[in-house]
């Protein structure tokens, strides 16, 4: 696992690209400059790692586009000590961004291959979530609820009730909703029964699927 000055230079450039696209959160930009994204992608494709693009990983899944990762993290205003539930561990890159900011992270993945791979790999880089869970994100993680923030990184055909139920009052759920393309949707819990909803533009994610695999 090699990280060189060349990689650092490419990461700095990527952070500049994201700034130009509207990312202003200093913690997010610092995480992007620090995390070796090329190590999250199969070797041989490392030239792609610092372009602002999604890229295929194992089990027909993708590592999200850096802009999307930065946008979701910035929108949720993630800060250190936030208790965060992530649905869709995938490559673990988004997980690493949350951990770099100092959040306490629980991350759920439904594909066993990715769950296994990423739960071995991330700690080797020094990124240690509270827990990796092999499970179905539609259910959330009731035993550790409520969460300050819940981030969904797969396209959901509808908003799972369990996830809304597991955010703290004052907390937020950010979820891309839709089939082919998704509308990034932010729910803020105003009181036990009231949620404010904001729609934040179109994105394209791999689908959120039910049950483990
Ligand atoms: N944040 C990840 C995104 C990976 S793509 C990254 O940047 O690498 C979305 C991931 O969500 C895939 O790994 C997919 O297997 C997973 N996923 C889809 N439906 C899910 C569900 N119901 N529960 C948990 N994970 C799910």
pLDDT in tens, 106-116: 999 999 999 99
Whole-number Å distance, alpha carbon 138 to ligand 1 midpoint, is 11
Spatial distance between the Cα atoms of 156 and 38, rounded to a whole number of angstroms: 28
Give the domain ranges of the chain: 5-203
Average pLDDT over residues 24-49: 93
pLDDT in tens, 4-23: 999 999 999 999 999 999 99
CA distance 64 to 102: 21
CA 109 to ligand 1 center in whole angstroms:
6
What is the length of the chain?
213
Distance 153 CA to ligand 1 centre (A): 6
Atom of ligand 1 nearest to the CA of 40: 8
Please, are residues 167 and 184 in contact by the beta-carbon 8 Å criterion? no
pTM check: above 0.85: yes
pLDDT on residue 212: 80
Convert the pLDDT of each residue in 149-168 to its tens digit. Answer: 999 999 999 999 999 999 99
82 lines ligand 1 (CB under 6 A): no
| CB neighbourhood size of 14 (10 A) | 21
What is the per-residue pLDDT for 43? 79
| The domain defined by 5-203 carries CATH number 3.10.20.70 | no
Q: In terms of Cα–Cα distance, which of 176, 21, 33, 170 is closest to 101?
A: 33
- Report pLDDT for 85: 98
pLDDT tens string 45-79: 888 899 999 999 888 889 999 999 999 999 999 99
User: How many whole angstroms from 171 Cα to the centroid of ligand 1?
Assistant: 22
pLDDT score of 1 more than 80 = no
Residue 12 confidence (pLDDT): 97
Q: Whose CA is nearest to atom 23 of ligand 1?
A: 137
> Which numbered atom of ligand 1 lies nearest the CA of 54?
7
Q: Is 114 in the pocket of ligand 1 (CB under 6 A)?
A: yes
> What's CA 178's distance to the chain center, in Å?
18
The reply to whether 191 belongs to the active site is: no
């Amino acid at each position: 696992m090699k990280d060189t000055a060349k990689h650092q230079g490419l990461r700095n450039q990527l952070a500049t690209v994201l700034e130009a696209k509207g990312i202003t959160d200093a913690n997010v930009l610092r995480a992007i400059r620090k995390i070796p994204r090329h190590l999250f992608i199969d070797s041989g494709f490392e030239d792609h790692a610092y372009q602002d693009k999604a890229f295929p990983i194992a089990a027909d899944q993708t590592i999200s586009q850096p802009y999307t990762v930065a946008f979701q993290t910035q929108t949720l205003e993630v800060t250190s000590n936030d208790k965060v539930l992530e649905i869709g561990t995938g490559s673990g890159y988004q997980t690493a961004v949350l951990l770099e900011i100092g959040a306490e992270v629980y991350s759920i993945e439904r594909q066993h291959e990715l769950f296994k791979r990423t739960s071995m790999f991330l700690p080797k880089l020094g990124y240690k979530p509270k827990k990796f869970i092999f499970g179905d994100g539609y259910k959330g993680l009731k035993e550790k609820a409520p969460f300050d923030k819940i981030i969904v990184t797969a396209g959901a055909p509808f908003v799972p009730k369990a996830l809304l139920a597991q955010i703290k009052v004052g907390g937020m759920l950010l979820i891309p909703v839709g089939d082919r393309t998704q509308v990034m949707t932010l729910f803020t819990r105003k009181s036990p029964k009231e949620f404010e909803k904001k729609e934040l533009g179109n994105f394209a994610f791999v689908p959120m699927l039910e049950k483990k695999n």
